[in-house]
């Protein structure tokens, strides 16, 4: 209890000018990113990162802030996407007035409406039971997408054209860069809204429901209704994310409702970190890098994704964002106490772990693909027929595995930081 | 009548297979509070291992060895993975097994490829056992039912009649007391996890060649066995049996019935035509709704009876 009180005070005492600075910086990054990284592939990745951030943040309203594990988040975002596609088509036919930049409102209302509809009964429970109900709801919505082809478009999905109506200030949102800025604008709005939501009494009460439901009930609030509200807020922002997805791809298929989609949101939110506000945004960046960027380079990207996730669950349950501060602390201490040798040792064994894993995984995928030639890896040709690269990879990996803990311990002893900071074993 | 009897037999054999999977899952859950997301991956692993082993040493050797190997894999997962995550709580454990299911899928695809493998039924079990009216009942389906029933009977007797079963049951309800009596409760957990995985592996051995052995097989059954465990009441073996058979019956019968609400209304003289509002909803046939029914059952049970059909405690 005392720690939370302190956390709140720390935020409250943070000068508002500094917050303003952070917001301006965030806006500047959003504005300038496509000006610096101009390639069209990267622009498409950036757009997807923005959408992923909205989705991951909306998911974290449940998982991180209210402690509700959901396996059905795709139901909200997916229904938002389908509704947006239909509204875009209606507006395109002139049956409805809604310019494209306001389409996410349709998605938001859909997500909110669906959450309001099913939320009251399913938020009575929390924990594993809630997780299973959301799994059931998500699968039901997914299964129904093939039952009602009139709305969901069957196997082919429903497509739409995002260029319709009068242009806004000469923008018709045809080119990807204009879509990027539309996504960025909505991202900024959503981030601001969700950030200040955590500062409201409602946000604090949701944290209370997560930490100690019984005490919240004793204080006089109804945990059930609080969870219901959390689900509706989350559904609203998930609907916005789904609408942005629909605008970006101009299509909604049953894939956006599947368990894969729900699982992906869960994976990346958790990898980024649920304990901090910035964590899910970091997770979305990592997610796009792992699922959109990495497949261009290796067939084993799903293996890396699974490995990263499992390692985060086992060694850094606070997510990667929770490692930033301890890592910076260790770095600062290393510099100030001049313990470069033992720091280098830790870096070396972490590097060996990474290199050994990459060598073995790449060799396995190369062998499985049935390629006859040797595997080019970082400028070295590895012949997967002979035992040499396998042995080398295994030795490097084992060397890293055996030395990382002693190296970390040695560094921490030298730096004389407490064992509590021993989460710094990074991979 | 013919349709009814054959569907009943089909649903029984499917339900028993589901129960073999879910009995291990529910045992693991009631002991450790872990809902093992990777449970169906162990089922898949069992099928693939049986395919590889039966190619070298014959089906009957694989029948006994593959579940053992899967059980060993489960023990290793528990000892070196799950136990490390235990201190972070049940959600972290659930997430760990969720990640594990990704990794196991990738590993299986790495070793055996991305398409289905030709894991066939052994020659002595091919052919039909008897003919019911005009439909034949395959021998292998009877064999599956026999194996399931015998395994589950053995499991039941082991849990209720032996000393090991006594310790397992005591560790479920009073782990501290059992520990202070000198038993190694973490080791009991480890063995139960391995045993549950071995059961899933055995289900894979007999189910893999009845259906198809392919990388998608874990995903197909994975969520269904969750439905079974949760709807039956978490931690209740009898509940899992009831829910397995129920879902077997629901799915088998629903797939075969090509009727919709509209047909019923038309029979009463209340038919609508295409274009009338709600027509597309009413004209959905029961066979089209079939994949959704287990999840509808899950949601309904959890809303109206959160502890499950035969569960004793909530959550």
Name the residue among B85, B88, B94 with its Cβ closest to that of A131: B94
Q: Is B314 on the interface with A (CB under 8 A)?
A: yes
Question: How much of chain A, in percent, has pLDDT values that exceed 70?
Answer: 93
B285: helix, strand or coil: strand
Q: Do B280 and A136 touch (CB under 8 A)?
A: no
In this structure, is residue A20 part of a structural domain?
no
For A132, which of B113, B281, B302 is closest by C-beta distance? B302
pLDDT (mean) for A337-361: 82
Residue A274 per-residue DSSP state: S
- Cβ <8 Å between B90 and A365: no
What pLDDT does residue B74 have?
93
**Do B103 and A266 make contact, defined as CB atoms within 8 angstroms?**
no
Count other C-beta atoms under 10 Å from residue A226's C-beta: 21
Cβ separation A128–B234 shorter than 8 A: yes
Q: Do B102 and A69 touch (CB under 8 A)?
A: no
Contacts of A372 (CB under 8 A, 6+ apart): none
Element (H, E) at B131: strand B128-132
Radius of gyration of chain A (CA): 24
Percent of chain A topping pLDDT 90 = 24
CA distance A247 to chain B (A): 27
Residues 55 to 84 of A: which have CB under 8 A from any B CB? 69
Per the model's pLDDT, the better-predicted residue between A248 and B132 turns out to be: A248
Domain that holds residue A210: 37-310
Q: Is the pLDDT of residue A230 over 90?
A: yes
Q: Is residue A16 part of a domain?
A: no
CA A71 – CA A142 distance, rounded (Å): 12
pLDDT in tens, chain B (315 residues): 777 888 888 888 889 988 988 888 888 887 777 788 889 999 999 999 999 988 888 888 888 999 999 999 999 998 888 888 888 877 788 888 988 998 999 899 888 888 888 887 777 777 777 777 777 778 888 888 899 899 888 888 888 888 888 888 888 778 888 889 888 888 888 888 999 999 999 999 988 888 888 888 888 888 888 888 888 887 778 888 889 998 888 888 887 777 776 676 676 666 666 555 566 666 677 777 778 888 888 888 877 887 777 776 544
Residue A400 distance to chain B (closest CA, Å): 18
Whether A247 and A344 share a structural domain: no
Closest by Cα among A161, A133, A26 to A72: A133
In sequence order, the β-bridge partners of residue B135 are B132
Interface of A with B in 309-338 (CB under 8 A): 309-310, 313-314, 317
CA–CA distances in Å: residue A22 to residues A14, A16, A18, A26, A27: 12, 10, 6, 6, 9
Q: Which of A256, A282, A310 lies at the terminal end of a domain, its last residue?
A: A310
Tens-place pLDDT, residues A110-134: 999 999 999 888 888 877 788 888 9
Same domain, A355 and A221: no
* pLDDT in the model for residue A3: 42
* pLDDT above 80 (res A337): no
* Res A5: pLDDT: 44
pLDDT score for A186: 93
> DSSP for A195-207?
HHHHHSHHHHHHH
Check if B258 contacts A (Cβ < 8 Å): no
Pairing status of strand A380-382 against strand A375-377: antiparallel
- Chain A hits for B298, CB-CB cut-off 8 Å, are 132-133, 135-136
pLDDT band (50, 70, 90) for residue A15: low
Residues A190 and A338 in one domain: no
pLDDT of residue A81: 93
B32/A425: higher pLDDT: B32
The reply to whether residue A309 touches residue B99, judged by beta carbons under 8 angstroms, is yes
Q: How many angstroms away from the CA of B181 is the closest CA of chain A?
A: 31
Residue A9: inside a domain = no
With cut-offs at 50, 70 and 90, classify the pLDDT of residue A426: very low
Cross-chain Cβ contact A305/B102 below 8 Å = yes
Q: Final residue of a domain: which of A310, A343, A375? A: A310
| E strand segments, A264-414 | 375-377, 380-382
Task: Please check whether residue B240 is in contact with residue B19, taking contact to mean a CB–CB distance below 8 angstroms.
Answer: yes
Residue A299 touches partner B, C-beta closer than 8 Å: no
B292 touches chain A (CB under 8 A): yes
Measured distance CA(A351)–CA(B256) in Å, rounded:
57
| Residues A155, A56: Cα–Cα separation, whole Å | 27
Contact B223 A266 (CB under 8 A): no
Asked, for residue A181, whether it belongs to a domain, the answer is yes
Chains A & B: contacts with CB separation below 8 Å: 120
Query: Read out DSSP for A43-112?
Result: HHHHHHHHHHHHHHHHHHIIIIIH----S-HHHHHHHHHHHHHHHHHHHHTTSS---GGGHHHHHHHHHH
Q: Is some CB atom of chain A closer than 8 A to the CB atom of B234?
A: yes
* Environment class of B259 (CB within 10 Å of its CB; exposed 0-12, middle 13-18, buried 19+): exposed
| Tokens read off for B5 | 């009897």
Q: Chain centroid to CA B44: how far? A: 11
Task: Look at residue A364 and tell me if it is in a domain.
Answer: yes
Q: What is the pLDDT of residues A375-401, one digit of tens each?
A: 777 767 777 677 777 888 888 888 888
Residue-level pLDDT at A424: 46
Query: pTM for the whole thing?
Result: 0.84
Q: Which residue in chain B has the smallest CA separation from A319? A: B92
Nearest to B21 by CA among B242, B172, B240, B215: B240
* Residues of chain B positioned with their CB less than 8 A from the CB of A267: 99
Q: Under an 8 A CB cutoff, do A128 and B35 touch?
A: yes
B176 touches chain A (CB under 8 A): no
What's the pLDDT at A243?
94
Helices B237-256, B139-161: axis angle to 10 degrees equals 160
pLDDT tens digits, A255-297: 888 888 898 899 899 888 888 888 999 999 998 888 888 888 8
Conformation bin of residue A106: beta by default, left when phi > 0, alpha when psi is -120 to 50: alpha
pLDDT in tens, A76-106: 999 999 999 999 888 888 788 888 888 899 9
CATH number at residue A108: 1.10.3470
Question: Quick check: is A242 in a domain?
Answer: yes
B315, exposed or middle or buried, with CB in 10 Å at 0-12, 13-18, 19+?
middle
Query: Within a domain: residue A4?
Result: no
3-class DSSP assignment, residue B213: strand
Average pLDDT over residues A165-189: 83
Q: How far is CA B215 from the centre of its chain?
A: 16
pLDDT of residue B70: 94
B-chain residues within 8 Å CB-CB of A263? 98
CB contact under 8 A, A144 and B292: yes
Q: CA-CA distance, B183 to B186, in Å (whole number)?
A: 9
CB contact under 8 A, B289 and A147: yes
Q: Distance from first CA to last CA of chain B, Å, rounded?
A: 41
B164 in contact with chain A, both atoms CB, cutoff 8 A: no
Q: What is the pLDDT of residue B9?
A: 85
Report chain B residues whose CB lies below 8 A from the CB of A131. 35, 94
Residues of B in contact with A270 (CB under 8 A): 95
Residue with tokens 């009575």: A124
B230 close to A (CB below 8 A)? yes
The count of domains in chain A is 2
Residues A43 and A184 in one domain: yes
Is A257 contained in some domain? yes
Q: Which pLDDT score is estimated for A425?
A: 44
Domain-ending residue, one of A310, A340, A364: A310
Residue among B102, B230, B303 minimizing CB distance to A302? B102
Average pLDDT over every residue of A172-201: 88
> Which chain B residues are Cβ-neighbours of A317 within 8 angstroms?
85, 88, 92
Domain parsing of chain B, residue ranges: 2-217
């Amino acid at each position: 209890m005392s720690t939370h009180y302190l956390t709140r005070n720390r935020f409250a005492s943070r000068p508002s000018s500094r917050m303003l600075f952070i917001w301006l910086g965030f806006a500047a990054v959003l504005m300038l990113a496509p000006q610096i990284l101009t390639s069209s592939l990267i622009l498409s990745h950036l757009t997807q990162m923005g959408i992923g951030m909205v989705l991951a943040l909306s998911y974290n309203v449940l998982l991180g802030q209210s402690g509700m594990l959901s396996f059905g988040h795709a139901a909200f975002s997916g229904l938002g996407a389908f509704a947006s596609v239909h509204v875009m088509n209606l507006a395109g036919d002139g049956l409805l007035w809604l310019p494209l930049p306001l389409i996410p409102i349709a998605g938001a209302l859909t997500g909110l409406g669906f959450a309001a509809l099913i939320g009251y009964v399913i938020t009575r429970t929390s924990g594993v039971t809630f997780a299973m109900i959301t799994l059931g709801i998500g699968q039901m919505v997914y299964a129904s997408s093939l039952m009602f082809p009139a709305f969901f478009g069957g196997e082919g999905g429903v497509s739409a054209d995002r260029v319709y109506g009068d242009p806004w200030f000469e923008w018709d949102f045809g080119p990807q860069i204009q879509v990027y800025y539309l996504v960025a604008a909505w991202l900024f709005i959503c981030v601001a809204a969700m950030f200040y939501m955590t500062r409201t009494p409602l946000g604090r009460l949701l944290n209370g429901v997560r930490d100690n439901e019984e005490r919240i009930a004793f204080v006089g609030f109804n945990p059930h209704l609080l969870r219901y509200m959390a689900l509706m807020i989350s559904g609203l922002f998930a609907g916005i994310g789904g609408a942005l997805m629909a605008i970006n791809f101009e299509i909604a298929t049953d894939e956006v409702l599947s368990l894969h989609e729900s699982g992906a949101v869960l994976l990346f939110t958790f990898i980024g970190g649920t304990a901090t506000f910035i964590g899910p945004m970091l997770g979305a960046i990592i997610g796009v890098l792992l699922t959109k960027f990495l497949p261009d380079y290796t067939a084993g990207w799903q293996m890396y994704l699974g490995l990263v996730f499992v390692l985060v669950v086992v060694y850094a349950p606070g997510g990667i964002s929770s490692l930033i501060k301890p890592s910076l602390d260790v770095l600062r201490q290393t510099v100030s106490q001049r313990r470069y040798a033992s720091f280098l040792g830790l870096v070396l064994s972490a590097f060996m772990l990474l290199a050994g894993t990459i060598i073995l995984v790449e060799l396995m995928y190369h062998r499985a693909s049935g390629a006859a030639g040797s595997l080019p890896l970082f400028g070295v040709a590895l012949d997967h027929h002979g035992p040499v690269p396998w042995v080398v990879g295994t030795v490097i990996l084992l060397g890293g595995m055996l030395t990382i803990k002693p190296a970390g311990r040695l560094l921490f002893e030298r730096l004389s930081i407490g064992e509590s900071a021993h989460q710094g074993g990074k991979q | 009548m013919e349709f009814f009897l054959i569907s009943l037999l089909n649903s029984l054999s499917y339900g028993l297979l589901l129960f073999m999977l879910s009995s291990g899952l529910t045992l693991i859950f009631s002991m450790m509070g872990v809902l093992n997301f990777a449970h169906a991956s162990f089922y898949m692993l069992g099928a693939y291992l049986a395919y590889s082993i039966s190619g070298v040493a014959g089906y009957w050797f694989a029948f006994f060895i593959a579940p053992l190997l899967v059980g060993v894999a489960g023990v290793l997962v528990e000892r070196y993975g799950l136990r490390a995550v235990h201190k972070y709580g049940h959600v972290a454990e659930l997430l760990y097994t969720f990640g594990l299911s990704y990794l196991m899928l990738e590993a299986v695809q790495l070793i055996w490829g991305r398409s289905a493998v030709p894991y066939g039924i052994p020659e002595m079990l091919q052919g039909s056992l008897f003919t019911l009216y005009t439909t034949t009942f395959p021998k292998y389906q009877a064999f599956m039912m026999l194996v399931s029933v015998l395994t589950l009977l053995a499991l039941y007797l082991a849990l209720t009649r032996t000393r090991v079963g006594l310790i397992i049951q005591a560790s479920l309800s009073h782990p501290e007391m059992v520990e202070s009596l000198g038993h190694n409760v973490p080791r009991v957990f480890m063995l139960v996890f391995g045993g549950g995985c071995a059961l899933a592996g055995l289900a894979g051995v007999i189910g893999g060649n009845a259906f198809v052995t392919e990388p998608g097989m874990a995903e197909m059954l994975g969520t269904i066995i969750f439905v079974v465990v949760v709807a039956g009441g978490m931690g209740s073996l009898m509940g899992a049996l009831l829910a397995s058979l129920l879902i077997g019956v629901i799915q088998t019968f629903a797939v075969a019935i090509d009727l919709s609400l509209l047909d019923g209304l038309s029979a009463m003289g209340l038919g609508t035509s295409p274009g009338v509002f709600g027509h597309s909803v009413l004209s959905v046939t029961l066979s089209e709704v079939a994949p959704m029914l287990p999840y509808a059952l899950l949601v309904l049970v959890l809303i109206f009876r959160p502890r499950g059909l035969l569960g004793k405690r909530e959550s």
